[in-house]
Amino acid sequence: MGTNTISFHVSGMSCSACATRLEKSLQKSENVISASVNFALETANLELHKITPLKKIQKWVRDAGFEVVTETHQFALPKECSQGEINSLMDALRDSQEIIDVSLSSSNSRLKVVYISHATSKNLILDIAHGKGIHLGLLDDSDNKTGISVNILRNEFIKVISAVILTLPFYLMMLFNHVGLQDLWSGLFPPLLQGVVATFILVVLGAGFFKGSYFALRQASANMEVLVVLGSSTACLFSWYQIITGEQTSHYFETTAFIITFVLIGKYLENRTKSKVADAITDLMALQPEEALLVMDGGHTRSLPASEIQVGDVLLCQAGQKIPVDGEVIKGSAEVDEAMISGESLPILKNIGSKVIAGSINCDGLIHIKAEAIGEEATLARLIRFIEEAHSRKARIYPLVDKVSNIFVPAVLVLSLVSLTFWLFSGVGFELALINAVSVLVIACPCALGLATPTAIMAGTSLAARKGILIRDSEMLQKARSLTYLVFDKTGTLTTGQPKIDKIYPLSPDHDSNQMIALAASLQQGSSHPIAKAIINEAQKLECSIEPVDKFQNHVGLGVEGELSNGKYLLGSSNLFTKFGFEVDTKQFNDTEPQVILGKLEQDKLNLLGGFSIHDEVRSQSSEAIQLLKDEGLEVMILSGDSEGAVGKVADLTGIKHYMAKADPVAKIHEIKELTDQGHLVGMVGDGINDSPALAHAHVGFAMGSGTDVAMNSSGIILMRSDPGLVAMAIRVSRLTFRKIKQNLFWAFIYNVVALPLAALGFLNPGLAAGAMALSSLSVVSNSLLLKFSRVR
């Protein structure tokens, strides 16, 4: 029996502990094979034994104390639609596993559909209707979306401001007490009013903590919210008890106010940090234009939604517009700004045959694009998916943190009870004993512990993304810092992967270099061979005149022959001329045999016109990149399927001592395994299909952004620019990120090790404890965000 996977957004998670709680709850549900909940992205991913109705999944999430994010869309029904057709469509929609609810307006003109955001889309609804022969019209896109949004963050901000304003009188009261004016302030802010304000802060502004505590305890687990509720509620109830009985003149309503306010501030800052990840994904999604110009038969155009573009469609893109789809330029030329996609600072010239990416900007010119990748296969969609995957997967350090948190909270509850018992037996009185116990509960709130890893991972991956490095898997981010050996493919990685003419050898006084290029390009026109492209590109650069070729014949592996206006020509290797009975004397080329030789056949004689030396150009950044890796203490080698001479030349130019030529995919895997057996942690950098097995077998695979989809899917780290220097940068980002994680964990643990005994021994009152707890969380978040300002080269 096959499995079913579903992803959806979740609202109501206020900290990483909430995500852990929901994950555990979902894993206990029937038919669930595995569950993964991402706090940063507010998403849940379920792998199920069989298709499960979304209403059932919605109930599972609700039972855990959270809500599934839903969207509501309204569709206009055609006027000619009969009641029977409407009923049939509604039944079909209700039968769909992806749809929660369907309802009809009183006038029978509108259809309202509720579905789970992220699990499905409007297109599914339109497709179901189309299958029934009904063409729905999408009305004003006033989605009713329940989930993470600007409004939710704004509401949290309002809560924080309200709590700060209401807590301010308690702070002033403490100041008045310190300067001996407590009698004056007690008249302005009497205990009864203090109780009302503190209770409002606790019950209204802190309602979310009670909800989280209830669902945590219902699942027999104790999280941070349990500590907050116990500490703040105990202080508030005890103070009310004092007012009612009149036993004490001092109260602790300020403790309740400080605890709730400081924790609300901490959660707001945490959610702001979390929202940055969602913003990054939203920004990527915004790069996709909503409309495109479809070129129709006859040359005229019509506008259509980008979501309706099909593979093979020809689209027109004008200057200043965003490229609507991944594809190939089939007409025209333009400079295209790909900075938002690849990080390339300068516009790139796109000619016929050039590939373009959806979301990049046409700076000038008019181009026709043939659509090649749409929907989930498009570059933007894959980038978004990679980012979501990177934040969804937990680094190895996560389970340790989760395990410590699960032990830590119950241990704190026990310590608080021990503190209460100790002080009661020491004879100090119930009030002081209770206050010390509450201080323990407050000081131990494990916000900082839960924030230590995810905030650093988010900051690290964001820093990498700004540098043009896409980290698909946080596990790779961890491994990259420990690499000891880097293996590079040659073609397309250290070199451009595009052959280029670097020298021309004219032998005939009647033909100069430009004339030779023009003849060679005329013979090669229409060919897709890399050497042919190099010759044609050179001809276009020199603006040579290319004439039609007649009686063209391709000699596989040797070269070509063809007739031009003034005779018959041969173009190819020396073996081509040998086939025709001619021996080429390489001494004419200063003892250097060029890769391509040009000759003219005149009756039974050969007039040798000259030759072309063609090489795969080494990237300008390669030498510096290799030196950077050496400076980081890594060993470097080249693994290539190219010839010994070609690989050796690149190794010399880049300063690499070790290399292996003529290595097929199996040989590359074998070499990586050998290096691993020698104790090395190996990284592999490649771009082609032949590199994908080696990329998958390496500890960390780095794929060049210009490479194939197979290479990218086999790699944990993608370099969005064709710059090998990004490998060293990725390693440095990895080391910086995990240095931050260690710092965060150290300070989070030290804070608790020092503060807990002080609270238990009565040196910290609950108000100070709440402030120290919030300060600890703030320090962890701030330390992680410092990564944003790191200078990495």
Residues tagged active-site: 489
Q: Where does 409-490 show beta strands of DSSP type E?
A: 469-471, 485-488
Q: Which residue has the tokens 């909430």?
A: 18
Between CA 292 and CA 155 the distance in angstroms is 37
Q: Measure the CA–CA gap between 37 and 21, rounded to whole angstroms.
A: 9
- Measured from the Cβ of residue 699, the count of other Cβ atoms closer than 10 Å reads 20
C-beta atoms surrounding 690 within 10 Å: 19
Which distant-in-sequence residues (6+ apart) come within 8 Å of 635 by Cβ? Answer: 484, 485, 486, 658, 680
Report the distance separating Cα 278 and Cα 40, nearest Å. Answer: 8
Tokens 């010839």 label which residue? 643
Task: Give the CA count within 13 Å in the CB-facing half-sphere of 176.
Answer: 15
Q: Note the Cα 69 to chain centre separation in Å.
A: 21
Q: Which two tokens stand for residue 630?
A: 């050496």
CA angle, 664 as apex, 663 and 666 as ends, to 5°?
Answer: 110
CA distances from 485 to 271, 636, 659 (A): 39, 6, 13
Cα(691)–Cα(489) distance, rounded to whole angstroms? 7
The values of phi and psi at residue 4, to 5°, are: -125, 135
> What kind and span of H or E run contains 16?
helix 16-27
* The two three-digit tokens of residue 54, written as one number: 């979304």
- Compute the distance between CA of residue 162 and CA of residue 719 in angstroms, rounded to an integer: 46
For residue 49, what is the DSSP state? S
| Cα angle 704-706-710, degrees, rounded to a multiple of 5 | 75
Cα distance between residue 560 and residue 554, in whole Å: 5
Q: Are strands 43-48 and 32-38 parallel, antiparallel or unpaired?
A: antiparallel
Cα–Cα distance for residue pair 783/464, rounded to 1 Å: 17
Stated length of the chain: 793
Judging by beta carbons within 10 Å of its beta carbon (0-12, 13-18, 19+), is residue 474 exposed, middle or buried? buried
- Residue 232 tokens read as 């703040």
User: Which residues have C-beta within 8 Å of that of residue 634, sequence separation ≥ 6?
Assistant: 483, 484, 485, 486, 731
The 3-state DSSP class for residue 81 equals coil
Burial group, residue 580, by CB count within 10 angstroms (0-12, 13-18, 19+): middle
Cα–Cα distance between 260 and 209 in angstroms, integer? Answer: 9
Which residues neighbour 309 within 8 Å (Cβ) at sequence distance 6 or greater? 292, 294, 315, 324, 325, 371, 374
Residue 594: strand, helix, or coil: coil
For residue 541, report the phi and psi dihedrals to the nearest 5 degrees: -65, -40
In b/e form, how buried is each residue of 631-649, taking b as 16+ CB within 10 angstroms?
eeebbbbbbbbbeeebbeb
Spatial CA neighbour of 309 closest among 371, 379, 380: 371
> Is the CB of residue 293 less than 8 Å from the CB of residue 476?
no
Task: Output the CA torsion 717→722→727→732 (10° steps).
Answer: -90
